[in-house]
Structure 1
Amino acid sequence: MVILGVFFLLPVIAALFLSLTDYDLYALADIHNLRFIALNNYIELLHRPLFWSALGHTLYFVAVGVPLSMLVSLGAALLLNSPLARCKPFFRTALFAPVVTTVVAVAVVWRYLFNTKYGLINVALSWVGIHPVDWLGDPHWAMPAIILFAVWKNFGYNMIIFLAGLQAIPVELYEAARIDGASFWQQFRHITLPMLGPTLLMVGILTVSGYFQLFAEPYVMTEGGPLESTTSVLYMMYDEGFKWWNMGSASAIAFLLFIIMFVVTVLMLRLGRRGEEA
């Protein structure tokens, strides 16, 4: 409790206090310049177009990336759990490896893959007659490129959780379904999905929470561009706090993001409970 209080609770309380002040570079030089401004930071943020733009980019990333990541994770888990699969430990380790790899290192590699002239992705597209795409330089393609990278980077973590959930489903249920003539899709729909309900809810909440905190990918690959098309809420918080030294405004962004994540999590929990009751 002491460790949690010192390294978690106190910093959170301090950040909440900072969000109610105009703490910036001048206050950092002389604490007497610090002023208590109540909710002015929050009000100003809600009137800034950049904040709403960053929030829109973040919601787009979450809305597209979370379902795609969960779909890929579940598909990989089903393949690994299949009795026909071979070398399961090898593939389980290989698919999980991106999760424990440094984001900056793999992001640099993916920047070369997305290179307009020499990237392997555009080379592959040229083989089927598609002109090169400026993946990281076009505002329309920059965020989809980051989503693709993020899904590849993170799906292995959810895959391991799904795999554990699949292995906990009694084999007798599938045997009984096969005897009754159920197809693979019918088994998946009436046995696998219902039995994975709690796991799906937990993975969904964890993935949504992680994807709302989008920062490292655009920071390394696009630096928030082009034309701020990949600037997320967390990236904006970084700029406010460590580029412009507006610590009060940065803290306010952090707590607004926390409120949004809290509301989304509560809604997901309620929907999950309604699904269980139904």
Structure 2
Amino acid sequence: MKNTKSSGSVLSKIFSLRNIAVTFLVVYFAVFLAYPIFKAFAGSLHDWNPLVGTYEWVGLANFAQILTDKLFWTSMLNTAIFAGVSTFFRIVLGLALALLLSSKIVKCKDSLRGLFYMPTITPLVAVSFVWMWMFDPQFGMIDRVTGLNINWLHDTKWAMPAIIIMTIWKDFGYATVLYLAGIMNLPRDVYEAASIDGANGVQTFFKITLPLLKSSTLFIVITSLISYLQAYVQFLVMTEGGPGTSTYTISYLIFDQAFQKYNFGVASAQAVVLFLFTGVLTLIMFKVSGDTDLS
């Protein structure tokens, strides 16, 4: 009887803790996810300036304004270029290094894995300041090592490539670790069968390794695109959107409208467009990959 009572007491405590955890998660997502999304959608339909207490209904006027704004479309194009190029090289470098680290010719693998992943966990603001120094045309290491004479962050042709280079350097370790985990879990018998059939290294990579890493690649692509579509910290720190509007991205434009000009209505409309664009892009990625049924 004592064992039965003690077991019932333990179970009741477990269920009580589970209910508390579920309640906490519901409240957390309601406060920090659902409410901000609702507020952004509602704010996009209003002339909203918290400094002067303005919150007046304007309907779709904010959307009409941003869709006819040249700077908005410039920012969208810059965002697409930044996200696409950064994601592509993140995947290429991450996969190449993962294959190298998983091979038998490389020693000290654990140390190299930590070294490559270290930039990923380094604060972005700190990394941005370091790379600002490296890109400096007078005493920066980039121009000194390469022998170039480029004013990277103040040249409209080089500012965006400079930020992309910094972003790739910081983030490729994330892809490397994920690909390494995927490679370590690949079935060995498939490679043995390919070797018996006479497949060379290139054929094995494109016919076996790459297809088997499809889920890892999809995950990296989706998380990278979502992250890069929202990127603004490196642009704020390194160029403040300049020179001119050459490094304006949609997230930086939202930040500028909301916290520089306090035009929260227009900023909310831009955020809604970004939200919808990101959602549609994610669905397209799943559809193209064939990993889920969206019909």
Bin of the TM-score, shorter chain as denominator length: over 0.9
Match of 2:237 in 1: 220
1:76 to 97, 102, 105: 97
| Gap runs ≥5 in structure 2 | 1-25
1:19 to 44, 49, 53: 44
- Identity within the alignment, %: 37
Q: C-alpha distance in 2, partners of 1:160/1:274?
A: 22
1:44-86 deviations in whole A, cap 9, x for unaligned?
0001111011111101112211111110111111111112221
1:29 to 46, 52, 56: 52
Match of 1:199 in 2: 216
Q: C-alpha distance in 1, partners of 2:196/2:139?
A: 54
Match of 1:257 in 2: 274
1:192-231 deviations in whole A, cap 9, x for unaligned?
0111111111111111111111201111111110011001
Match of 2:252 in 1: 235
Query: Aligned with 1:22: secondary structure?
Result: strand
Match of 1:38 in 2: 59
Larger radius of gyration: 2
Query: Aligned with 2:265: secondary structure?
Result: helix
Q: C-alpha distance in 2, partners of 1:48/1:259?
A: 18
Match of 2:71 in 1: 50
1:124 aligns with 2:141: no
Q: C-alpha distance in 1, partners of 2:140/2:52?
A: 47
TM-score calculated relative to the size of structure 1:
0.92
Write the mapping of 1:149-160 to structure 2, written as runs, cut at 5 A: 149-160=166-177
Q: C-alpha displacement at 1:269, in angstroms?
A: 1.0
Code of the aligned partner of 1:29: V
Q: C-alpha distance in 2, partners of 1:121/1:10?
A: 45
1:6 to 31, 35, 45: 31
Write the mapping of 1:82-97 to structure 2, written as runs, cut at 5 A: 82-97=103-118
Query: Aligned with 1:228: secondary structure?
Result: coil
Match of 1:267 in 2: 284
Q: C-alpha distance in 1, partners of 2:185/2:49?
A: 53
Count of matched residue positions in the alignment of Structure 1 and Structure 2: 268
Code of the aligned partner of 1:151: I
Change (3 A) 1:161 1:274: closer
Q: C-alpha distance in 1, partners of 2:176/2:80?
A: 23
Q: C-alpha displacement at 1:265, in angstroms?
A: 1.1
Contact 2:47–2:58 (Cα < 8 Å) also in 1: yes
Code of the aligned partner of 1:208: L
Match of 2:8 in 1: none
Match of 1:179 in 2: 196
Q: C-alpha distance in 1, partners of 2:221/2:246?
A: 25
Q: C-alpha displacement at 1:2, in angstroms?
A: 2.1
TM-score calculated relative to the size of structure 2:
0.87
Code of the aligned partner of 2:47: D
Contact 2:286–2:292 (Cα < 8 Å) also in 1: no
Q: C-alpha distance in 2, partners of 1:162/1:275?
A: 21
Moved over 4 A (4+): none
Q: C-alpha displacement at 1:274, in angstroms?
A: 8.1
Match of 1:168 in 2: 185
